[in-house]
Amino acid sequence: MSLINQLIIRVPKWAVSWVLFTMDCTVGFLAIKSVFTAVIDSFQQPFWLLFGITHCMWGLIFWFSNLYRGDPMVSRFGETENLVRITLIPMITGIFFLGIDIDMAPITATLIIRYWVVFTAFTVGNRWIVRTFQKYLLRKGFGQHRALIIGTGHRAKYAAHNLISHEQMLFTVTGFVETIDEPETKTNLPRPILGKENDLRTIIKRNPVSDIIIALDNMEHDRVMDLVSIINGTPVSVKIVPDLYEVISGLARTEQITGLPLIDIDFKEGYWAGSGMKRVFDLIISLPICIILLPVWIIIAVAVKINSKGPVFYNQERLGLNSEPFMIHKFRSMVQGAEDKSGPIWASDGDHRITSMGRFLRRFRLDEIPQLINVLKGEMSLIGPRPERPFFVERLREEYPLYDRRFRMRPGITGWSQIKHPSDRDVEDVRQKLKYDFYYIENVSFNLDMKILLNTIAVVLSGKGR
């Protein structure tokens, strides 16, 4: 695999999203300037105000409508239809306001329609240029993913034929890896068998592949996890061809590659997390909350101090982004020195170490308010996987090969696993919560974060915390 091809493959999709956004801003400026400068001086404040408001609006509309996707397989015709339909609604709304005598002078319906035509034509052109260039690179072999298929059965053969029939697209198939439990159906494979699963890491080193596709006829979860644990730590992306039940039931989030459903189990930062928008969201929300809740901080601090001996705050080492240690801050909810004799253990129902005030704080999750400081410092996010203690992480790493994937993003005060499952009380709870953590990491988005935030507020107000 050439160096240029490797670099193109590693370009994050959100980088393409930023290119599209920049191009939209540029053509938007030209559209407003060409249409409205007859009535608004381009060097006066009203012009820049109109430009700023308009393109903040378009940016949000396009973003929520998924028009900033970096995927090279996006349909140009489908994207054009979607864009025209989406831009048509604000244009009709603007004309409607004119029709009910809202004073928008000197803007007229003719100017709005003219602006819509120019802006829509330019933004459609932007996407055709970017998508055509992406597909041109793929046809020339740049950015193509060289795939190695694990399996030699019917499912592996089907996946290979599907990808090979579209080899000028995203994937090219390098070969197969034979597994120990596959049936003897190795004939008529469209590519050679490069070795057995025991030699998988060696095969990956010897062959320039960027993707591993697991396509076993027997897709038992433990079997798949065994293969994933072998691959873990290698510089390849791992995808799984799911069974029909997982696709129909929606238990797995799949992406369509030339009509072939694939589960991508690798974490790739999307636009929301990768562009820094999630961090901006954290700051915009947490800073005002910190200020508004200042009286509550004081009341809780006094109550904790009166209720039991010891400090107001409880600081504990946790592992965050990229396994970096940091000190998490909480209002103390247990007696001082709660783990001096027992060592690190999970809290349990009726735990005698929890104070009466601590029980109240935990019920409404008020003990976690000081973690807003961790958010402001950049150690945590409002929403994400829960940060765990180093002692437990070492145990969990031994048991779950993919546990470290939780450290690929900032941990959160609340998260998908926290609202879907009660607090950790033993290793089995952690096992159940991991699937929710991995789902969140793969599907992180503004909409999902808002859903989690609203659910968390409901839990806090109902007193259904820990």
267-296 pLDDT, tens digit per residue, is: 555 556 655 778 888 998 999 999 999 999
Highest mean pLDDT among 33-47, 162-176, 327-341: 327-341
pLDDT class of 311 with cuts at 50, 70, 90: very high
Q: Are strands 313-319 and 145-150 parallel, antiparallel or unpaired?
A: unpaired
Please tell me what DSSP assigns to residue 146. Answer: E
Per-residue pLDDT for 352 more than 70?
Answer: yes
d(CA 129, CA 190): 35
pLDDT tens-digit readout, 213-249:
998 887 776 788 778 878 877 778 888 887 764 554 4
Per-residue pLDDT for 42 more than 60?
Answer: no
- Is residue 62 within 8 A of residue 35, CB to CB? The reply is no
d(CA 329, CA 327): 6
- Is residue 30 within 8 A of residue 47, CB to CB? The reply is no
What integer is the mean pLDDT of 24-45? 72
**Residues 6+ away with beta carbon under 8 Å from 410:** 320, 321, 378, 379, 380, 381, 384
Superfamily classification of domain 145-266: NAD(P)-binding Rossmann-like Domain (3.40.50.720)
What integer is the mean pLDDT of 376-391? 92
pLDDT class of 447 with cuts at 50, 70, 90: confident
What integer is the mean pLDDT of 135-143? 76
d(CA 287, CA 7): 38
Closest Cα partner for 17 from 268, 207, 214, 263? 268
- Is residue 221 within 8 A of residue 246, CB to CB? The reply is no
> Among the listed ranges 90-94, 104-108, 381-385, which one has the minimum average pLDDT value?
104-108
As a whole number, the mean pLDDT across the chain is 80
| Residue 202 phi, psi (nearest 5) | -65, -40
Relative orientation angle of helices 446-462 and 427-443, to the nearest 10 degrees: 140
Where in the chain are the domains?
A: 3-139, 145-266, 273-462
> Among the listed ranges 42-46, 265-269, 396-400, which one has the minimum average pLDDT value?
42-46
Q: Which residue has the tokens 């019917």?
A: 154
d(CA 116, CA 95): 11
d(CA 108, CA 390): 64
Looking at the chain, the whole-number percentage of residues with pLDDT higher than 70 is: 77
pLDDT tens-digit readout, 52-100:
777 777 877 887 777 887 777 677 888 898 888 888 877 787 777 666 5
What integer is the mean pLDDT of 311-315? 93
**Residues 6+ away with beta carbon under 8 Å from 68:** 17, 20, 21, 62, 271
Highest mean pLDDT among 27-31, 176-180, 323-327: 323-327
Per-residue tokens: 224: 């798949």
SS (H, E, C) 239-288: EECCCHHHHHHCCCCCEEECCEEEEECCCCCCHHHHCCHHHHHHHHHHHH
Per-residue tokens: 277: 């928008």
What integer is the mean pLDDT of 138-158? 83
pLDDT class of 43 with cuts at 50, 70, 90: very low
